[in-house]
Amino acid sequence: MTLLAPEALSLLLLVGFLALALWKGPKKAPLPHPLARLLKEAAQEGKKPLRWLPQALFLLALLLLVLGAARPLLPLPGAVGDRVAILVIDVSRSMMAPDLKPNRLEAAKEAARAFLEEAPKGLRVGLVIFSGSAQTVHPPILDRKRLRASLESLEFGRSTAIGEGILEALRGIEAAGGKGVIVLLTDGRNRTGVDPLEAAGEAARMGVPIHAIGVGVPGWTPSPEDPVMGFGFFAGAFEVDEELLWAIGELTGGSHHLVTSTEALKALYRKLAAEMKLEVVRVEATGLFGLLGGFLALLSLGLRRFLFPL
């Protein structure tokens, strides 16, 4: 707990003096008296239970009021919605490639589901897909069930517009308050749309880190029985632009990765989700301490009247 006005703690000296005044100290030895034992028993019967409680509550109330005067700052989890995460997934036809099992897109879906399981419950998550253009499937929401259902309905498109995917995610973050992070997954090079580095520069300006992830096995090429062959052979089956992903991660303060297996991709998404803790904000609690202190002071007076009526 941080105090904005620690000098107010000097008032604790007054509380200490008051506590000493309320303490009655050791009793003097009574004078001999033939009825001393009977008088002691009568006095014990007349005592109220918890007769010390009003004084204790009053001292606690004063302590809280002093702490309130010191203007304490309490660390609290950031309000729901302070920060969002956008999963940006490449759905170009090359994502049908089976070098990641069962194929690159299904591996991406499994990784996204792992992210949703691991991410803090209060973190809103959005979903953006891109091929030749970008589309928001879901703006940042808390409903993980809807997001999982949307993952199942993804369809393939033509070409690859990485920059468009980044800009679409940034629009979602801006609409949600401007604080967020992007997890970008692609298996190819940028073919159309805005320059990815230009989009990354906009992310850097907004303070949005991008974790850029490339998927695919270096050197892999499709064989005649691969499903992707039915849609026409694509030249250069492994086309991840590692230099571009590195530049995006470095420029935005994020990270860059090349993943060659489904299990490694799931593990990476779980790690990234675990790092996305909700921000801790410090809130001044002067009013709270004052309210509690005033309530305890009134309670102590009420108990005193109840236990020791005039």
Provide the pLDDT confidence category of residue 224 given band limits of 50, 70 and 90. Answer: low
Query: What is the average per-residue pLDDT within 221-231?
Result: 59
* pLDDT of amino acid 137: 95
Residue 306 has pLDDT above 70, yes or no: no
Q: In whole angstroms, what separates CA 109 from the centre of its chain?
A: 23
Provide the pLDDT confidence category of residue 80 given band limits of 50, 70 and 90. Answer: very low
* pLDDT of amino acid 79: 46
* pLDDT of amino acid 211: 97
* pLDDT of amino acid 233: 46
CA distance 180 to 183: 10
The beta-carbon contacts of 268-274 under 8 Å, at least 24 apart in sequence, are 268/111, 268/213, 269/111, 269/112, 269/114, 269/115, 269/118, 269/183, 270/114, 270/115, 270/117, 270/118, 272/115, 272/183, 272/211, 273/85, 273/114, 273/115, 273/116, 273/117, 273/118, 273/119, 274/118
Query: What is the average per-residue pLDDT within 16-38?
Result: 58
**Tokens standing for residue 79:** 């309000």
* pLDDT of amino acid 231: 47
- Who's near 173: CB < 8 A, 6+ residues apart? 84, 86, 126, 140, 179, 180, 182, 206, 208
Query: What is the average per-residue pLDDT within 249-253?
Result: 96
| Mode of pairing for the β-strands spanning 2-3 and 180-186 | unpaired
**Tokens standing for residue 294:** 């005033």
In 119-241, where does DSSP find H-type helix? 144-152, 162-175, 196-206
CA distance 161 to 192: 5
Dihedral sign (CA 92, 262, 151, 134) = negative
* pLDDT of amino acid 297: 76
Residue 278 has pLDDT above 60, yes or no: no
Residue with tokens 């989700």: 273
**Half-sphere CA count of 125, side-chain side, radius 13 A:** 29
Q: Who wins on pLDDT, 68 or 95?
A: 95
What angle is formed at CA 247 by the lines to CA 243 and CA 251, rounded to 5 degrees?
175
Provide the pLDDT confidence category of residue 26 given band limits of 50, 70 and 90. Answer: very low
Q: Each residue of 279-303: pLDDT tens digit?
A: 556 677 778 877 887 787 787 777 7
* pLDDT of amino acid 112: 97
* pLDDT of amino acid 291: 85
Q: Who wins on pLDDT, 83 or 49?
A: 83
| Mode of pairing for the β-strands spanning 134-141 and 180-186 | unpaired
Residue closest to 254 by CA, chosen among 200, 175, 197:
200
- Quick one: which H or E segment has residue 302? helix 286-307
Q: Each residue of 120-175: pLDDT tens digit?
A: 888 999 999 999 999 999 999 999 999 999 998 888 888 899 999 999 999 999 99
In 78-191, where does DSSP find H-type helix? 104-118, 144-152, 162-175
Query: What is the average per-residue pLDDT within 193-218?
Result: 95
User: Rounded mean pLDDT of the chain?
Assistant: 81
* pLDDT of amino acid 174: 94
Find the helix packing angle between 286-307 and 53-69, rounded to 10°.
160
Q: Who wins on pLDDT, 106 or 12?
A: 106
- Quick one: which H or E segment has residue 100? none
Share of the chain above pLDDT 70, in %: 73
* pLDDT of amino acid 135: 95
CA distance 10 to 14: 8
* pLDDT of amino acid 71: 78
Provide the pLDDT confidence category of residue 30 given band limits of 50, 70 and 90. Answer: low
Q: Each residue of 35-71: pLDDT tens digit?
A: 556 555 545 544 555 666 777 777 787 777 777 777 7
Query: What is the average per-residue pLDDT within 251-268?
Result: 96
